[in-house]
Amino acid sequence: MTDLLSASGDAANADVDVLVVGVFSGEDAPVLPESLAGVDAEFGGRLAEQLAALGNTGAAASLTRLPAPEGLHAKLVYAVGLGDAGDLDDETLRRAAGTAVRAAFGEETVAIAFEGDPEATATGAILGAYKFEGFKTDGNGDAAPGSIAVYGAGEDAVAKSRVVGESIALVKDWVSAPANLLRPPTFAIEIEQAAVAAGLEVEILDAEALSAGGYGGVLAVGGGSSAPPRLVRLSYRPEGARKHIALVGKGITFDSGGYSIKPTAGMWEMKYDMAGAAAVVGATIAAARLGLDVNVTCTVALAENLVSGTAYRPSDVLTIRNGMTVEILNTDAEGRLVLADALSRAVEDEPDAVYDVATLTGGQLIALGRRTMGLMGTDAETERIRRIGDATGEHGWPMPFPDDLVKLMESSIADVSQCAAGLKRDGHMIQGGIFLSKFVPEEIPWAHLDIAGPADSDSAHGYTAKGATAVPVRTLVALLEEHAGE
């Protein structure tokens, strides 16, 4: 993985392949900050003029490549627009750094000199350096830079960005892995290895233990696969921590839809259906490595939803861990069933708050698109996630639980219906949240994050590569930091 470094002094002295400088927007030419006076001097005081001649006026995320003049130690200079200086924020810095680093693939060393918060720049840089290598026998194109130095970033900021970046890379690697190489037992082992390395306690429940524990949802969903389901629990217990937070994730390593089988077109994307589990595991590992002063219990339910003679069916009635019965109408609405079990187990620990993450519904994508999470739960917690998500660049939007949709979830033969009666699609994303609310006591603060769209990107942009995004790891880490300070 790319080595993230701290740098100080005059960027004009950076001995690297690529020196990245940030410029602000101006009317006719970009505006150079005073910190780039040394760099500008080596361009004969004409750097802004040269950039303007090449069409770069400092607009946010614009990028212009220039050969470095003889007076600089760098080989190339990349000028990245940061927009209006008065509007500069952390997300602009993250995106600009990520854009520059992605453009520098194939170069070995990079240094970045931006105004603003250097931690945001460092985070964007390390995120932009991610690349899933894949399985091509003759390689997968240019490699990410071997090192990135960020001017003004102290050792603490670099260390934090490095930890978060490494956790996100782990999550992206898992989410991008082919479903045949990451089935539930294998995924459980990989989680255990990563968690133990971070100093976490690990408990893995196999099919026999799930049966003994009454986990009817996980067992039903995973019953059609030859790779049996697992439930994995990670515990982080720093000495003296006052609060206890539960994170819960959906880990469907492949979702065919079961007997309610999905169309062939797009089914290959269903390897992403474990992105919620990967994200909460990644955030828990990051919390441990950062030494956050908060207790965290992470519960993930892992299953593969396939068709076979042992698969569950529409019309089945299941009993969840907490004793509630569920009428099954659609075997492709399986994520809420494994989450019901995982949530039921999580609340038994009486945490101060519960947050679950899942690629739960296509309705989220229809309602909010590919880059905005659907947030449901108690008002204070959904608002907290929205606020933190805005700060991290992982945006979410709170959704209501209207009475008419709550009524649609009633069943005539079980405690609750898995889907709306008659499989009505009204408020499909909200239906999922309403169902999950049945498994979290009203007195426990709770938020459900539906990441069906944001879990992967169909194109590269800013610090985000095409493919798995690891949303909402950074939001969860910031959330845990906030709880640690309360």
DSSP 44: T
Given a cut of 90, whether residue 140 has pLDDT beyond it is: no
- Which whole number is the average pLDDT over 304-313? 98
Q: Which residues of 426-450 are buried (b: 16+ CB within 10 A; e: fewer)?
A: ebbbbbbbbbbbbbbeeebbbbbbb
Q: CA 135, CA 123: separation in Å to the nearest integer?
A: 27
Residue 135's pLDDT is: 94
pLDDT in tens, 406-416: 999 999 999 99
The stretch 148-164 carries a mean pLDDT of 98
**What is the tens place of the pLDDT at every residue in 441-476?**
999 999 999 999 999 999 999 999 999 999 999 999
- pLDDT confidence of residue 61: 85
pLDDT exceeds cutoff 90 at 139:
no
Instruction: State CA 440 to chain mean position distance.
Output: 23
For residue 249, give every residue at least 6 positions away whose Cβ sits within 8 Å of its Cβ, in sequence order, or none. 276, 277, 278, 279, 280, 281, 298, 299, 300, 301, 342, 356, 357, 358
Select from 230, 229, 224, 227 the least CA-distant residue to 258.
224
Mean pLDDT of all residues in 373-399: 98
Distance of alpha carbon 392 from alpha carbon 476, whole angstroms:
10
Percent of the chain with pLDDT over 90: 98
Can you point out the beta strands (E) in 154-243?
A: 201-205, 230-236
How buried is residue 235: exposed, middle or buried, by Cβ count under 10 Å (0-12/13-18/19+)? middle
> Would residue 262 show up in a list of annotated catalytic residues for this protein?
yes
Q: What percent of the chain has pLDDT over 70?
A: 100
Q: How far apart are CA 267 and CA 270, in angstroms?
A: 5
Three-class secondary structure of residue 15 per DSSP:
coil
- Which contiguous run of DSSP H or E holds residue 353? strand 353-358
- Convert the pLDDT of each residue in 31-66 to its tens digit: 999 999 999 999 999 999 999 999 999 999 899 999
Q: Mean pLDDT for the chain?
A: 97
Residues forming beta bridges with residue 467, ordered by sequence position: 457
The lowest-confidence range among 38-52, 132-146, 311-325, 358-372 is: 132-146
Phi, psi angle pair for 247, to nearest 5° = -110, 135
Tell me: the pLDDT tens digits for 108-121? 999 999 999 999 99
Would residue 250 show up in a list of annotated catalytic residues for this protein?
no
Q: Which of 230, 289, 321, 336 is catalytic?
A: 336
Half-sphere exposure of residue 205: CA atoms within 13 angstroms, side-chain side: 23
CA distances from 246 to 79, 133, 280, 284, 357 (A): 43, 33, 10, 10, 11
Q: Is the separation of the CB atoms in 300 and 249 below 8 Å?
A: yes
Quick one: pLDDT band at residue 21, thresholds 50, 70, 90? Answer: very high
Strands (E), 76-144: 76-81, 109-113
pTM of the entire predicted model:
0.98
Distance CA 178, CA 176 (A): 6
pLDDT at residue 358, as a whole number: 98
Token pair 């909460």: residue: 280
- pLDDT tens digits, residue range 331-366? 999 999 999 999 999 999 999 999 999 999 999 999
What is the arithmetic mean of pLDDT over 291-302? 99
Coil, strand or helix at 231 = strand
Annotated catalytic residue, options 262, 370, 371, 438: 262
